[in-house]
Amino acid sequence: MSINASDLLEKVRAQKPVIHHLTNWVTIYDCANIVKVFGASPVMAHAKEEVADMASIASALVLNIGTLTPDFVDAMKLAAIAANRKDIPVILDVCGAGATKLRDDACFEILDSVKVNIIKGNASEIARIAGENVQTKGVDAAAVEKDLREVAASLAKRRSCTVVITGKEDIVADESRVVRVKNGHTMMADIVGTGCMASSVIGTFAAVEKDLVSASVAGLVCFEIAAEIAARDAKGPGTFKESLYDSVYSLDSETINRMQRIED
């Protein structure tokens, strides 16, 4: 599959889309700032009284249940309805799915009541949403990989959406395709926030590209190449994180084209 990540990055920088978030209180700054350093315009708003208005001036909507409450889920649905009406992409980060009944219920309630265009999570979160019993610990990587590709593809078909599973390699699937992104660095798992930021980045690219597999793959490729660059001189997770913002900001087409590792 031919995905031009560098072209999409240029589109983000040229169009500066507004990305509306209802996200968690832990990584809310990081989600906003990663969108900003990619050249887009983040906005965070969660009051039921304004989410529809805000979604209607945005080019993508990112929902993240990381510190959800029932009220917050209601606001997410109102925002998503406005996004659906305007036909802008809705990304749902099923952060913590599987950990509590509230999180599982919230995910299904959102997925059943509004159109979610991209579902994103790690292996165990997506497995839970897919209703499948995938063993994501204690098995070898190859076996997990195979299972997860099927899980992603199957969930994508059932929900008629794009599914992104992040991990050592990322899986992006829609109803007809499965693509893997092999960029990234282990240090991404040593800090809080890279998973949430990945969803914001995917939302940012989905704002400028209608093909959501291409958008998701391009966003992940750019974010993870930046992480690889940031990790080179980082002395640890603190300096890595600050450098990550620098390297996203400085990312150029030549670097992306040379470093990207996308596989069918």
Q: Which stretch binds its own copies (CB under 8 A): 48-56, 171-179, 211-219, 252-260?
A: 48-56
- The minimum distance between CB 261 and its own copies, in angstroms, equals 23
Q: How far apart are CA 70 and CA 76, in angstroms?
A: 10
Q: How far apart are CA 5 and CA 207, in angstroms?
A: 14
Q: How far apart are CA 73 and CA 92, in angstroms?
A: 12
Task: Return the number of the residue (38 or 180) whose C-beta is nearest its own copies.
Answer: 38
Q: In what order do the strands lie in the sheet containing 162-166?
A: 41-44, 18-22, 60-64, 90-93, 118-122, 162-166, 170-173, 178-181, 262-263
Task: Return the number of the residue (95 or 172) whose C-beta is nearest its own copies.
Answer: 95
Task: Return the number of the residue (45 or 134) whose C-beta is nearest its own copies.
Answer: 45
- The minimum distance between CB 37 and its own copies, in angstroms, equals 5
Phi, psi dihedrals of residue 207, rounded to the nearest 5°: -70, -20
Task: Return the number of the residue (43 or 134) whose C-beta is nearest its own copies.
Answer: 43
β-pair partners for 165: 121, 171
Q: Which DSSP string corresponds to 213-237?
A: HHHHHHHHHHHHHHHHHHHHH-SSH
Residue choice 135, 160, 250, 257 for contact with its own copies (CB under 8 A):
250
Angle at 260 between CA 255 and CA 262, to 5 degrees: 165
Q: Which stretch binds its own copies (CB under 8 A): 34-42, 127-135, 169-177, 210-218?
A: 34-42
Count interface residues toward its own copies (CB under 8 A).
52
- Binding of its own copies by 162 (CB under 8 A): no
Residue type (1 letter), 18:
V
Q: Give the total residue count for the chain.
A: 264
- Binding of its own copies by 115 (CB under 8 A): no
Q: Which of 225, 214, 234 is nearest to 252 (CA)?
A: 225
- Binding of its own copies by 67 (CB under 8 A): yes
- Binding of its own copies by 131 (CB under 8 A): no
Q: Which stretch binds its own copies (CB under 8 A): 67-75, 107-115, 173-181, 256-264?
A: 67-75
- The minimum distance between CB 8 and its own copies, in angstroms, equals 20
Q: Residue 13 is encoded by which pair of tokens?
A: 């920088």
Q: Residue 176 is encoded by which pair of tokens?
A: 């007809």
Q: Which stretch binds its own copies (CB under 8 A): 51-59, 79-87, 131-139, 165-173?
A: 51-59
Binding residues vs its own copies (CB under 8 A): 24-30, 32-33, 36-37, 42-47, 49-50, 53-54, 57, 66-70, 96, 99-103, 190-193, 234-239, 241-247, 249-250
